[in-house]
């Protein structure tokens, strides 16, 4: 029995769900047809709909809450008219004030990154004047017609102004939160990182509202009952605050959790995108040509270097954040370590060899050091072409007075005396380049013993370009 | 895991160095094992582990001479293995083997007690050599590690004052040896370049290793603390 009952239930539930969904579907489609009443003139409707900006409260050029300017923008009429209408309506028993408040609550504020719109000071003065006029009319009309008692006017005015101030501040807090500068937590949600002035404004507004209510109570209630009323109201407020503590805490936690989750998701997406663009592509390429070892090596090395650069910075290993040459990072022409890494990487890619590079110290590039890096690159290219080995070591060391670079291979080496005159690689690209900039080249090689090219370049005294020529250190 | 037979073939007069592999990538362990098998007369893999816990248990069980240790693993990585094994088995020697070239990783495992550091692109022959070298009590520096140490001990303007000259400064000779290491020279080449014996080169490198592990030079402690290992 109990085993069979769920089956029967399921069947009936299924039917119910079916009918519910069809009903829902009907409900969903209904408003759509209402929104587009005539199939004959959708183009017209659409054009108007697109031309009309959305109904949002404006931030720039607002006087109270930005409702009037938002409405004016939406309807395409001058903002002065809208303000005048609100002021006039305020005379009808305060209807304008109520309408304004309702719109303030229901209209969404415009996005924080919306463009700022200019407003002339006369327009602003008119706005303020109409706001004051509206408030005055509402009060005057109320008192004249007797629809509100005189005793209410003062307190009501204070409450209205106080409420407007607090609401306005809440708008500001939201904008700051959107701009990402706000702290998290309840204080952050209420004040949005606005600082002391925001606290003062909110407290001022709250004070006005409290004063208004107190004035109302004081004028209507005799003091004895008043005390009991105040105590009971305060007790209720404390009770509500205590009861809602878990809710506040959860709100804070949810906010933080949501922010963390968003950051995680973004990071993950970035990593996934990067891996897809680089690593997966390279792996696919490698699978396509498994029988060309040279190409596979080249792809793997190139990919490794790229991934390292992404993970650890351009030089492929640890970031050199604590270096003495603190200002070097932002230099327009880059750093020596990065330049050496780039040059070595290019040769690795071109000649499918491994270039093991180690750089000790770092400094900003100048004209001489650029020449040094070019010469070093040429030396690596020579090794790649002629040494007949798969690995070249590059070692660069930055010293206070000079920079030294060693390019070394364990290949076949050569006899420097026997190099034909028409081979310009070493003579021009390396020796010539170095000597033109005041550097020196030493060569250690012999047939069968590998080759080491030692490059040395004096540093400009203060590291700036085109410093006065200095004597060799 | 391989067999537990600890007797080596006495072809070369001494038993092969017993090696334990720790790496969370099974594929990589297989590759290293295959490469070391070519040097079976000097090096033999006795076991392997894919996690920190497995490694601690396996090292206690097999009592290897040398542990080849991956730097990056879940649950604390190579440094965690070092931290848990060294108090109980100070005789076990660790050689870090990692694909990471970041100064933080390299310096961190060295300061946690590894006798050397080589990168995973090293050839099988060189790896076997490095294993034998650390087994004999010497240090093994890859060119890049030598570069990091030179960097850390460099005399820059504005560097923190030297507290212990014994530990915080390199001798000129140690500096020369490190420079040549960073330039890609082998120990034998360094010896002939500096007109000293290979044994002296080894002494200098071991001394540099000790300073790297114990010195309070700012760069060293900063790199290590970036991995929370000090």
Residue A306 in any domain: the answer is no
Give the domain-ending residue among A209, A225, A243. A243
Q: Which residue of A has its CA nearest to B150?
A: A360
Q: For residue B151, which residues of chain A lie inside 8 Å, CB to CB? A: 360-361
Q: Which residue of B has its CA nearest to A391?
A: B184
Instruction: Name A176's Cβ contacts closer than 8 Å, sequence gap at least 6.
Output: A182, A192, A193, A194
Residue B174, Cβ neighbours under 10 Å: how many?
19
Range(s) of chain B covered by CATH 1.10.10.10: 147-226
Cα-to-chain-centroid distance, residue B209: 9
The SS3 call for residue A63 is coil
Q: What angle do CA B217, B220, B225 make, to 5 degrees?
A: 120
**Do A132 and A177 fall within a single domain?**
no
What is the C-alpha separation between B121 and A212, in angstroms, rounded? 78
Widest pairwise Cα distance in chain B: 57
DSSP A38: -
How many CA atoms within 13 Å lie on the side-chain side of B209?
A: 22
Distance from CA of B182 to the nearest CA of A (A): 6
Query: Would you place residue B66 in the very low, low, confident or very high pLDDT band (cuts 50, 70, 90)?
Result: very high
Angle A95-106/A67-75 helices, nearest 10 degrees?
A: 80
**Do A214 and A127 fall within a single domain?**
no
**Do A163 and A194 fall within a single domain?**
yes
Residue A3, Cβ neighbours under 10 Å: how many?
6
| More reliable by pLDDT, A211 or B91 | B91
Closest CB to B182 among A322, A324, A395: A395
**Which residue range forms the structural domain that includes residue A185?**
149-243
User: Which of 3.40.250.10, 3.40.50.2300, 3.40.190.10, 3.20.20.70 is the CATH number of B17-138?
Assistant: 3.40.50.2300
A79 contacts A69 by C-beta, under 8 angstroms: yes
**Do A94 and A195 fall within a single domain?**
no
How many CA atoms within 13 Å lie on the side-chain side of A146?
A: 0
In CATH, what number does B147-226 get? 1.10.10.10
Express each pLDDT in B34-64 by its tens digit.
888 888 888 889 999 988 899 999 999 999 9
- A210-216, long-range: CB within 8 Å, 24+ apart, which pairs? A210/A162, A211/A155, A211/A158, A211/A162, A212/A154, A212/A155, A212/A156, A212/A157, A212/A158, A212/A159, A212/A162, A213/A155, A213/A159, A215/A154, A215/A155, A215/A158, A216/A151, A216/A152, A216/A155, A216/A156
Instruction: Name A50's Cβ contacts closer than 8 Å, sequence gap at least 6.
Output: none
Express each pLDDT in B110-166 by its tens digit.
888 899 888 877 888 888 988 998 998 888 888 888 888 888 887 766 666 677 777
Residue A429 in any domain: the answer is yes
Q: What integer best gives the mean pLDDT of chain B?
A: 82
What is the C-alpha separation between A216 and A205, in angstroms, rounded? 17
**Do A343 and A431 fall within a single domain?**
yes
Instruction: Name A353's Cβ contacts closer than 8 Å, sequence gap at least 6.
Output: A347, A384, A389, A390, A391, A392
Range(s) of chain B covered by CATH 3.40.50.2300: 17-138
Residue A257 in any domain: the answer is no
Express each pLDDT in B176-190 by its tens digit.
999 998 888 888 889
What is the C-alpha separation between A263 and A78, in angstroms, rounded? 43
Residue A291 in any domain: the answer is no
| Total count of domains within chain A | 4
Q: Which of B78, B81, B86 is nearest to B107 (CA)?
A: B78
- The tens place of each residue's pLDDT in chain A, 473 residues long, gives 444 444 444 444 444 444 444 444 444 444 443 444 444 444 444 444 456 777 888 777 777 778 888 888 888 888 888 888 888 888 777 788 888 888 887 887 777 666 666 667 787 788 888 888 887 887 777 777 665 566 666 777 777 788 887 777 777 776 666 665 444 445 555 555 556 777 788 788 888 888 887 777 777 666 677 677 778 888 888 888 888 787 888 888 888 888 888 888 888 888 887 777 778 888 888 888 888 888 888 888 888 888 877 777 655 554 443 333 333 333 345 788 888 888 888 888 888 888 888 888 888 888 888 889 988 998 898 888 888 888 899 999 888 888 999 998 888 888 777 766 566 566 677 888 888 888 888 888 888 888 889 999 998 765 443 333 333 33
**Do A91 and A154 fall within a single domain?**
no
Q: For residue A406, which residues of chain B lie inside 8 Å, CB to CB? A: 183
Residue A293 in any domain: the answer is no
**ipTM value > 0.85:** no
Q: For residue B150, which residues of chain A lie inside 8 Å, CB to CB? A: 360, 397
**Do A44 and A62 fall within a single domain?**
no
**This model's pTM is above 0.80:** no
Dihedral pair phi/psi, residue B228, rounded to 5°:
55, 55
**Do A134 and A155 fall within a single domain?**
no
**Do A135 and A206 fall within a single domain?**
no
Residue to test with chain A: of B182, B217, B218, B223, most A Cβ within 10 A: B182
Residue A275 in any domain: the answer is no
Characterize the bridge pairing of strands B17-22 and B66-69: parallel
Widest pairwise Cα distance in chain A: 118
What is the C-alpha separation between B82 and B110, in angstroms, rounded? 10
**Do A338 and A453 fall within a single domain?**
yes
Residue A447 in any domain: the answer is yes
CA trace torsion A270, A273, A278, A279 (10° rounding) = 90
Q: For residue A323, which residues of chain B lie inside 8 Å, CB to CB? A: 156
**pLDDT value at B196 more than 90:** yes
Q: For residue B157, which residues of chain A lie inside 8 Å, CB to CB? A: 324
CB proximity under 8 Å: A 411-470 to B: 452
Query: Would you place residue B7 in the very low, low, confident or very high pLDDT band (cuts 50, 70, 90)?
Result: very low
């Amino acid at each position: 029995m109990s085993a069979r009952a769920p089956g029967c239930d399921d069947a009936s539930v299924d039917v119910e769900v079916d009918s519910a969904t069809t009903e829902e579907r009907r409900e969903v489609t209904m408003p759509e047809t209402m929104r587009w009443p005539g199939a004959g003139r959708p183009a017209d409707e659409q054009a108007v709909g697109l031309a009309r900006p959305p109904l949002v409260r404006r931030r720039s050029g607002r006087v109270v809450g930005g409702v009037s300017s938002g409405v004016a923008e939406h309807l395409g009429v001058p903002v002065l008219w809208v303000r005048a209408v609100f002021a006039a309506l305020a005379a009808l028993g305060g209807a304008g004030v109520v309408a304004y408040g309702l719109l303030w609550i229901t209209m969404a504020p415009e996005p924080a990154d919306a463009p700022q719109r200019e407003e002339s000071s006369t327009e602003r003065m008119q706005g303020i004047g109409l706001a004051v006029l509206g408030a005055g009319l509402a009060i005057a009309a109320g008192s004249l017609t007797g629809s509100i008692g005189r005793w209410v006017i003062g307190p009501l005015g204070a409450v209205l102004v106080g409420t407007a101030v607090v609401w306005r501040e809440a708008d500001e807090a939201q904008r700051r939160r959107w701009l990402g500068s706000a702290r998290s937590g309840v204080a952050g949600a209420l004040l949005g990182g606005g600082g002391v002035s925001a606290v003062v404004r909110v407290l001022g507004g709250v004070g006005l509202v409290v004063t208004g209510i107190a004035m109302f109570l004081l004028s209507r209630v005799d003091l004895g009952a008043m005390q009991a009323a105040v105590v009971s109201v305060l007790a209720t407020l404390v009770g509500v605050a205590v009861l809602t503590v878990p809710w506040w805490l959860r709100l804070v936690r949810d906010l933080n959790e949501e922010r963390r989750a968003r950051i995680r998701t973004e990071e993950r997406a970035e990593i996934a995108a990067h891996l897809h663009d680089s690593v997966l592509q390279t792996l696919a390429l490698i699978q396509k040509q498994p029988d060309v070892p040279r190409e596979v090596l080249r792809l793997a090395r190139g990919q490794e270097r790229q991934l390292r650069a992404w993970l650890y910075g351009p030089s492929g290993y640890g970031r050199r954040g604590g270096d003495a040459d603190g200002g070097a990072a932002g230099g327009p022409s880059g750093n020596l370590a990065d330049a050496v890494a780039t040059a070595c990487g290019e040769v690795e890619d071109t000649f499918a060899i491994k270039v093991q590079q180690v750089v000790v110290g770092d400094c900003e590039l100048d004209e001489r050091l650029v020449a040094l890096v070019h010469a070093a690159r040429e030396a690596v290219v020579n090794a790649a072409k002629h040494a007949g080995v798969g690995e070249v070591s590059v070692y660069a060391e930055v010293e206070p007075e000079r920079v030294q670079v060693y390019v070394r291979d364990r290949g076949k080496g050569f006899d420097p005396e026997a190099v034909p005159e028409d081979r310009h690689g070493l003579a021009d690209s390396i020796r010539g380049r170095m000597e033109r900039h005041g550097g020196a080249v030493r060569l250690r090689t012999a047939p069968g013993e590998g080759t080491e090219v030692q490059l040395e370049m004096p540093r400009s005294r203060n590291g700036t370009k085109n410093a006065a020529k200095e004597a060799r250190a | 895991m391989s067999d537990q037979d600890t007797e080596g073939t006495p072809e070369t007069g001494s038993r092969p160095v017993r090696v334990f592999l720790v790496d969370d990538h099974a594929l990589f362990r297989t590759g290293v094992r295959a490469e070391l098998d070519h040097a079976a007369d000097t090096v033999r893999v006795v076991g392997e582990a894919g996690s920190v816990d497995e490694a601690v248990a396996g090292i206690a069980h097999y009592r290897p001479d040398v542990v080849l240790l991956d730097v990056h693993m879940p649950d604390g990585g190579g440094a965690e293995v070092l931290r848990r094994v060294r108090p109980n088995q100070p005789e076990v020697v660790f050689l870090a083997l990692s694909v990471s070239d970041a100064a933080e990783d390299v310096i961190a495992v060295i300061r946690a007690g590894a006798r050397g550091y080589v990168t995973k692109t090293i050839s099988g022959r060189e790896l076997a050599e490095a294993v034998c070298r650390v087994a004999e009590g010497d240090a093994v520096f890859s060119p890049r590690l030598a570069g990091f140490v030179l960097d850390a001990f460099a005399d820059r303007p504005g560097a923190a004052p030297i507290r212990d000259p014994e530990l915080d400064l390199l001798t000129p000779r140690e500096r020369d040896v490190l420079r040549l290491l960073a330039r890609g020279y082998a120990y034998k080449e360094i010896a002939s370049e500096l007109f000293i014996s290979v044994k002296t080169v080894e002494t200098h490198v071991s001394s540099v290793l000790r300073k790297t592990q114990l010195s309070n030079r700012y760069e060293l402690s900063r790199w290590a603390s970036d991995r929370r290992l000090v």
